[in-house]
Structure 1
């Protein structure tokens, strides 16, 4: 009987079909052969050779599940992002509301003496789409967001690699801000890292699906957060939904890109996401100022 080449089989046991691959060399492995690693599973050869000189050509160049370089500190970018959020929070507490007014996401100048008539994304201050994602005023607000970042960030950073994880985080933040700018009240200020955090939620769900993990814990946590999103007053739900959508789409491209066209698919998806954000902002600006 001929073997169906469309079905992956364990490279050590050709009679066993499998949907799991070694996260280092990407060869298919069955449950008997897979060995739990910090992220996903590895085959016996990659575990035996460690970071060194195995027989397989890819084993000598360890890569993350998404093709990124394996770093010694898989939390470095997470730590830097957390530090930036905390530093800006301290700056806001020190400098007062004027700094918040300069960095918060606001579509167009509201009729309030606290803002100048030339402020807002519609007036060309597009940097607010990103600076607002690092801005917090209340201790509970930054506490919840940074807890989410510390919980979700390291596993994603280890699985994607530093550069891909950073791209995921920033594009999720911008996606949340863009949706807020598109449909929310342009005179309502919005701030916080929640859009980026929801992007990490979406990416975590995609990653767990890719690794065939039990998705119930992350789905329950996501549902709980969505309930808070739509029931708690003064929450910019647009940022949460925008970040979630962008994070899930980008993560899917990062972890499911075929090895032969990995860079094209990954860079192309991130570039397309950025173009969508720019297009949304241009159209909304024309609608507000035209």
Structure 2
């Protein structure tokens, strides 16, 4: 219900549909708009007139990005083949990770111990531990606390909403999985005595891919550079107990996946894209199975 003072104020009605009451303002012109007139923007919503003005003032880089990555690019063989702009894979990953996080709280299940990664699980003859290679990716499902899982899922939600519709759901999932493996591989090689948990490697792969794609499109990536740099530096600060190796490994793998997708985004190059992603996964597995024993032998 609304007060007579509210209903008598014409500013509380959509400027394009004066009979429709609304509580939402266009973030550009600050006029009231109804749901039919609202277009989702990076922050808030904008009205049709501001949207028209924004499109007419786009830079060449923005126009090129729309041609290559927009929804209409599907018919031209671009990689943007998602039927809907909703990041369903992002939401699915968050839901699965949150469910596993709840299982971690159940006494006696020891989900953390079952899912965490330590390179010793790849070399039973050296460590005496059972051979469990799947831990390379299951480590991305468990976290060390509420803040750990909360910050990782927040970053996934923020980046996934933009990156998943751009890449497509299955490419996005492949990026996330390869990033998680890359983070575990980096920890296994650079810090073989450490066990690791968390989706940091997978999340940082999203940073890496978005950085490569954004630079290719000519976008201003200063903010992402700063954010990525801050997160990498935090991993080196004593007392934070963060596996910086996973951050670096995930970011590097993400950048490589972004480069592969960019170079093979045409429909006729799809087979090459799949083969290159499989080759990247093979390189990661070879590295983690070959390098740690060499390091142990050197010691």
Alpha-carbon distance in structure 2 between the residues aligned to 1:191 and 1:96: 19
Paired residues of 2:80 and 2:168 also in contact (CA < 8 A): yes
Match of 1:89 in 2: 101
Residue-by-residue CA offset, 1:124-178 (whole Å, 9 max, x unaligned): 2101111101111301101110111001112111111011111011001101111
Give the SS at the match of 2:276: helix
Give the SS at the match of 1:230: coil
Alpha-carbon distance in structure 2 between the residues aligned to 1:172 and 1:185: 18
Match of 1:163 in 2: 170
TM-score (ref. length: structure 2): 0.70
- Structure 2 vs 1, CA of residues 264 and 203 (structure 1 numbering), >3 Å: closer, same or farther? same
Match of 1:220 in 2: 226
- Structure 2 vs 1, CA of residues 73 and 281 (structure 1 numbering), >3 Å: closer, same or farther? same
Alpha-carbon distance in structure 2 between the residues aligned to 1:99 and 1:260: 41
Paired residues of 1:103 and 1:135 also in contact (CA < 8 A): yes
Structure 1: runs of 5+ lacking an equivalent: 1-30, 52-57, 110-116
Alpha-carbon distance in structure 2 between the residues aligned to 1:32 and 1:80: 33
Q: Does 1:172 align with 2:184?
A: no
Larger CA Rg, structure 1 vs 2: 2
Residue 285 of structure 1, CA deviation: 6.0
Alpha-carbon distance in structure 2 between the residues aligned to 1:273 and 1:288: 22
1:211 aligns with one of 195, 202, 217: 217
Residue-by-residue CA offset, 1:186-230 (whole Å, 9 max, x unaligned): 3x2210000011101111111211221111111111111111121
> Relative to total residues, which structure has the larger helix share, 1 or 2?
2
2:280 aligns with one of 264, 273, 277: 273
Paired residues of 2:206 and 2:254 also in contact (CA < 8 A): yes
Q: Does 1:230 align with 2:236?
A: yes
Cα root mean square deviation, aligned = 3.1
- Structure 2 vs 1, CA of residues 212 and 34 (structure 1 numbering), >3 Å: closer, same or farther? closer
Paired residues of 1:181 and 1:284 also in contact (CA < 8 A): no
Paired residues of 1:202 and 1:244 also in contact (CA < 8 A): yes
Alpha-carbon distance in structure 2 between the residues aligned to 1:223 and 1:252: 20
| Equivalenced residues, count | 235
Matches within 5 A, 1:100-111: 100-108=112-120
